[in-house]
Structures are given as C-alpha cells and as structure tokens.
Structure 1
Amino acid sequence: MTTTPTETDVAIIGAGPTGLFAAFQCAMLRLRCVLIDVLPETGGQCTALYPEKPIYDIPACPAVEGAQLIANLEAQIAPFHVPRLLKHRVDSLSGQRGAFTLGMTHGAAAQVSLQAKAVIIAAGAGAFGPNRPPLDGLGAYEDSGAVQYYVRRKAEFENRRIVIAGGGDSALDWALALKDMAARLYLVHRRDRFRGAPESLRQLEEAVSQGLIEKIVPYQLHGLHGTGGALEGVEVIDMDGNTRVLEADVLLPFFGLATDLGPVARWGMDTARATIPVTPSTCETSLPGVFAIGDVASYPGKLKLILQGFSEAAVAAHALYPIVHPEQALHFEYSTSKGVPAA
C-alpha cells in the first residue's frame, strides 16, 4: 500500500512477533489495523537482535530462528494487506476510547497523525540497549566487533575462541547454539547456577561433559587484553580475588537489556518498572481503549514468552471489538471452520 493511512480501527504500536500476530487476530475479526514501528523493518528484536537465534517456545515448531518466525508471521497476515508505518515514532496519544489521535514523527522532522478507535501497545521492551560490563577500554573492542551484545550471523563465529558471560537464557541459548562451531567456548558466570529452562540446563551439562563448553564459575569479567581493538584474552576474577586470563577472539556479554518506555510513559496510563500493568482477562491498561500485550504488559503470573504474547494478542483483539463495533455482538468462530476472510 503506497497511501499513508490517516485513520483505522486499531493502531498497533510495535511490529515484532506479538504485534504481527495482533494484526492477524484483528484482521480475522474484520477489524482494520495499522502496524507502527520505529525500526525500518518488521520483526522487532527477532530481526534487529537475533535473526539466527533458535526459539523453542513456539507451538508446533521444535526450533525456529527469529528471522524465519517473522517470515512465517508475515506470510500469515499477507492476505489482509495490513498497512505499515515503519520508521515512525509515536510521540503522543490524545483523545479517548473510540476516538484516539496518535501523533508521530517520521524521519528527521515530518509530523504525521493517525486516528484510531483503539490502540494496542506491542512495544516489546520499549526502547532497548544492552547492559554493558564496566571494563576499561571497552569502546575500542566494541568498535572492532571483538565485543558484541547480539548475534546476527552465526557464521561470523566459526572457529573462533568465544567467551560468553551471563547466567540467563540468552547466555545459555547462544552457548548451545555456537558450541559446535567455536574453536573454544567459555561460559562465565558469578556462580555455578544458571537461570534457564530445565532442558537447556541438561544440554549445557552434556556439552560440558563432552568438552564443547568450559564453565568458568564462580568468576566475573575483570578486564580485556589486546591491542588496537583486537582481543587476545578476557581476564576474569573470582570471589577471592584470584584472576585468570582466557584466550579469546570475541566476548559476548549477555547481561540483559536496559529498557525505557519512552513517550509511552507520558500517555497517562499506569506503569511499573518499564512495563504497563493490564487486566489479564482483556489486556486493557488503566487508560480505557488502550491495550498492552507482549513483554511490555505485566500482571500477576505473567510469563515473558512469545507464546504468551500471542495469547494476549487474541485476548486484546476480542476485547476491543465492542469499541470498534458497539452495535454488533461478536459471535466467536473457530478459524478451522471460518477460514480466512476474503480481502
């Protein structure tokens, strides 16, 4: 679609996997929707941060890489020709349930607006960036690519000596994904206890027993050794002050993301620790007519899994239907019998 839309039924802020599935759910209910994202392409973190990272919590997919998941979601909504406003930052939200105005910045200065009856915020972690380790001279190694916070192409790590630091899912997943191609792979953590799915922990111990991964515990990063941005070794230190230098070509610190809701935090809805509390049965925020799904949404018992975001997308689409069509009752039909509505 070449014409920039000026009004729609549902504005979906965020075109990551949860936002894309929300577009599908809305389209299946014959609700017009527009996908909005500040990035130049759809996919969110799956595209920007880990297109080749295997994801294991998608039903019917034993494993799927981030880029392939996005391609599948794009194929799912292709019949509906959903408009996209990419490289658009939503700066303001005004109006009320059934009649919102979204003020957006496109590019350097262009201001555009969109009228919507309901809003779904699927902004993931909001504005995000890596938590960097406090190491002297870090910038030079970042510039050379010797220190990286995201893995975009696994082939770049073939036959390289890799140090992965961290104790969560990202550290575990990438250690397991790179173990068969690395010349040497170290996994550094401050304690011999990792936060991960039981199956990932089992695979880690198996890889350690096979000599594919060496656990360096309990140690923390302490320094970088090399010249001109070329990494030669990573220095680690234990709780007693003993140090060790690991010969390495690349360091991958996975200490999570620093997140910021950005303008969303100023739209008048309740927020809590860079998330937006919602009512679980509807995914509606404290601002009537505005819904939040995916990692940005919070409620008791919330699981930060993509599959949970998919469920929330369906809940939000059905909950907002009466806002768009107050005069119509929604008669739920299964997709197996309903099929995909004609364009």
Structure 2
Amino acid sequence: MSNPNKTDVAIIGAGPVGLFAIFQLGMLGFRCQVVDALDGIGGQCIALYPEKPIFDIPGYPKIEAAALIHRLEEQASPFAPIFHLGQQATGLTRLEDGRWRLETSAGTVIEAGAVVIAAGSGAFGPNRPPIEGIEAYEGKSLHYMVKRREDFRGKKVVIAGGGDSAVDWALSLSEIAQVMVVHRRGKFRAAYENVCRLEQLHAEGVLELVVPYQLQGLEGHDGQLDAVTVSTLEGTVRRLEADAMLAFFGLSMNLGPIAEWGLALERHMLTVDPATCQTSVPGIFAIGDINTYPGKLKLILTGFAEAAHAAHAIHPILRPDTALHFEYSTTKGVPAGG
C-alpha cells in the first residue's frame, strides 16, 4: 500500500461546493486534500456547462460556470490544497486512533481526521441514445456537453432532447450555427420563457424544430457525421444534414463505492443532520447535492452554506481542547495556508 498522505480533512469532490469547503476549513486552520474522479476541478460546472451563465450566485448577477470555478479556486488557493484528480474514492476505513483512511482507484491513500463528501450526484455519465454505431462518433462529431461554444460556429448542428440543456444550447448556438432541434414531443420540458423564445426563433426561421421526431440513425465516416436520420412514430423518415450532434438526454448517476460505506441513505442521497451536515457516521460529513434533509434546496448557494456548517462542526472533532470563537472574515482576514 502507498505511503499515506496525512492531512486534517479529506474532501471527496472538487466541484464548486468542495472548493468552497477548502476555503471554509482553511479559515479555521485546517489543511485539505481533495479527490475527484474527473481530470480537472469544477465538477459538473466544467464537465457539462462551462460557458453556461449562472444567475443565482450572490454578488454575481451573471457568471459563467467556468468563471465561478476559477474564482473559487482563487479563493481556496491561499490554503494550499492538494488535489488527487482522475481517481475515484473507493475505500474508507476507520483507524484505531479514530482517524480515517481513504483509498482511491489510483492507489492513493489519505489519512485524515474527518471526511467531507461533496461528490454532487455521485459518479455521472450521459444517457446515450440507443443508436447503432454511436460509439464511433462520440467525442468527435457527437457530444454530450459543450466545452467551447466557438467549436460549432458555422456548422450544421442537430440538438436532440427536450429539457433545459437542449433548449439553452439551441438558443445560444442559433446565434453562430444552423441549428435543428429534434424532440419526440411537441412540448419541451424547459423554462417557459426559453421555450417561448425557441418557438419564436423557429417561426422566424432562425432555427428549425424537428418535432415530433426521434433519433433513428447516423451517417458519416471516420467519426465525422454527414447526416442524422429521424423518424416519427408513424414511420415518416427525415434525413438531416449535420456536421455535429449534441445529445441531451440527462445523466445516469450513482454513488459508486460511497454507497457501500455503511452511511444512511434516502433516495440515493446521504441523510445528514442539517445543523452540522454530519452523516449517520460521526466524522463523515456530506454537503451539496449528495445530501438530503427536510427542506433541502438543491442550489449551489445551499451547498456553500453547508460547507460552513460542516467546517465549524469539524473543529471540535479535530481540536477538542481549543474553543472556537466565531469571527467574521472582515475581522480576521484570510490567514496564511498551512
């Protein structure tokens, strides 16, 4: 077994809530090491919608997801967190001295006095449409997320799906590309004002709504799409010339190994005490979308508050002989990282 990395707190998840937990714990003088299955920090904000604007972050009337992650990284940087990226948390055991040993899929071992699980909705991946040969196009001309809006400029783009992601990107990409939206129903499951805008752009000929149709097949070579074929339930088939396709059919999510750690669960989420965000096992905390309690709101700002609750609940565990005197950051400033 690898030599253990010793730290005060191990954080599972480097999304926005996990990053803010680094700051909150750092303000109390604790060092953190962070594990994330993705190759970079930012969680779903970076993996799924880096250029999508977010409107409900306090102090930012509008901020793109990638910019929010950059700000959170900057805020956490004084506390010198150590990241272990591209590896999944696989095992968690309690040591005789009461500390925790966290193991990862890459063989990394972290020993910490407390554990904070900020893993969002757990391990996630796209729901793939059942189209024969789809794997040959994935990551080349068929995508489940938009990393750079400019990659689609001037292209013929088929967007498949009827939820917020499909509608949002249809509105955005219609400014720079020829967009066709395929949905099996005439009704979309997205914000009302966005659906109205979508239908208006269709009426104006800016984009095309291909409804009610469902995906049937892909045409192309060497991973490059030439066309997408779609059909109605009655068997009417259309061929849509396309350079690229975006498929938004939601995510399949699971807790992975976390579900085997003996923590109390409710609807695949970790139940916590809302006052502390401690799970059913003392010393293990859960914050953000992965936890649940009465009245829980799945918002980033809720996760930020939970990070503060957890940090203050961890203090008496790691420093039982030291009283914690609450101070505002405007009073104490930002201490140097450990």
1:1-343 correspondence to structure 2 within 5 Å: 6-95=5-94, 99-105=98-104, 107=106, 111-142=107-138, 145-182=140-177, 184-343=178-337
- Structure-2 change in CA distance of 1:231 and 1:57 (3 Å): same
Contact 1:53 1:151 in 2 (8 A): no
- Give the whole-Å Cα distance in 1 for the aligned partners of 2:144 and 2:326: 44
Give the Å deviation of 1:203: 4.1
- Structure-2 change in CA distance of 1:332 and 1:169 (3 Å): farther
Name stretches of at least 5 consecutive residues in structure 2 with no aligned partner.
Answer: none
Give the Å deviation of 1:268: 0.8
- Structure-2 change in CA distance of 1:96 and 1:213 (3 Å): farther
* AA matched with 1:337: T
Give the Å deviation of 1:309: 2.0
- Structure-2 change in CA distance of 1:193 and 1:94 (3 Å): same
Contact 2:12 2:119 in 1 (8 A): yes
1:173-232 deviation per Cα after TM superposition (whole angstroms, max 9, x unaligned): 2222212111x1122223333333445445434544443332233332222233454323
- Structure-2 change in CA distance of 1:146 and 1:318 (3 Å): same
Secondary structure of the residue that 2:169 maps to in structure 1?
A: helix
RMSD over aligned Cα atoms: 2.7
* AA matched with 1:90: A
Secondary structure of the residue that 1:99 maps to in structure 2?
A: coil
- Give the whole-Å Cα distance in 1 for the aligned partners of 2:38 and 2:232: 40
- Give the whole-Å Cα distance in 1 for the aligned partners of 2:289 and 2:99: 23
Give the Å deviation of 1:64: 2.5
How many residue pairs match? The answer is 335
- Give the whole-Å Cα distance in 2 for the aligned partners of 1:303 and 1:319: 21
- Structure-2 change in CA distance of 1:324 and 1:209 (3 Å): farther
Instruction: Tell which deviates more after alignment, 124-133 or 218-227.
Output: 218-227
Name stretches of at least 5 consecutive residues in structure 1 with no aligned partner.
Answer: none
1:220-246 deviation per Cα after TM superposition (whole angstroms, max 9, x unaligned): 222223345432322223344433332
* AA matched with 1:128: F
Secondary structure of the residue that 2:259 maps to in structure 1?
A: helix
